[in-house]
Amino acid sequence: MSELEMLAERLGRELLSRGELLATAESCTGGGVAQTVTAISGSSAWFERGFVTYSNEAKTEMLGVPAALIATHGAVAETTARAMAEGALARSRAHWAVAVTGIAGPAGGTPAKPVGMVCFAWARRDGPCEALTCQFAGSRAEIREQAVRLALSGTLKRAMAATLTA
């Protein structure tokens, strides 16, 4: 089992212990978070669905991200990641959603949004939505792998914190 799969398995145990479900909303990872989660036997008990919204139109059509928000802030922005996570919750039965949007490269970067910039959001139904921007280095595959790792570890961290405060 890979390191990422072990992380997904830990997340699954945490969510399963609470009877909670996860949804993913992914852009630059292209479904990598959902793929890692579904590599775990029994994940259907805690993984509700995944949205791969690579284009701006998909973000708007599938997740309800306002086109005006993307026009103002761009696809790679914490505000967009938040809207993606909130849209995944609104369009699923999940208790938790994680969203990932970024620039995996090697092309597509700008001085303001360089290759390796990835925005994340974690939302909890009837709870907070948190966002984070990270700058990763490496090849396209390495950036995507780092993003999947942070998406999973960030979800696990928040789910465990919610358990402690429950």
DSSP states along 130-144: EEEEEE--S-HHHHH
Reading phi first (left if > 0) and then psi (alpha if -120 to 50, else beta), residue 47 is in: beta
Which of 98, 85, 87, 121 is closest to 47 using CA atoms? 98
Token reading at 14: 């945490």
Of 162 and 9, the structure prediction assigns the larger pLDDT to 9
- Over the stretch 90-114, which tens digit does the pLDDT of each residue have? 999 999 999 999 999 999 999 999 9
Rounded average pLDDT over 119-133:
97
- Over the stretch 4-63, which tens digit does the pLDDT of each residue have? 999 999 999 999 999 999 999 999 999 999 999 999 999 999 999 999 999 999 999 999
Angle between helical axes of 56-63 and 78-90 (0-180°, round to 10): 40
152: pLDDT strictly greater than 70: yes
Q: What are phi and psi of 49, to 5 degrees?
A: -175, 165
Architecture of the CATH domain 3-165: Alpha-Beta Complex (3.90)
Q: What is the pLDDT of residue 166?
A: 59
Q: What is the pLDDT of residue 163?
A: 76
Report residue 164's pLDDT band, with 50, 70 and 90 as the boundaries. Answer: confident
64: pLDDT strictly greater than 70: yes
Amino acid at 128: P
Q: What is the pLDDT of residue 71?
A: 98
Q: What is the pLDDT of residue 165?
A: 72
Q: Where are the domains of the chain?
A: 3-165
Q: How far is CA 44 from CA 72, 98, 102, 121, in A?
A: 37, 17, 27, 22
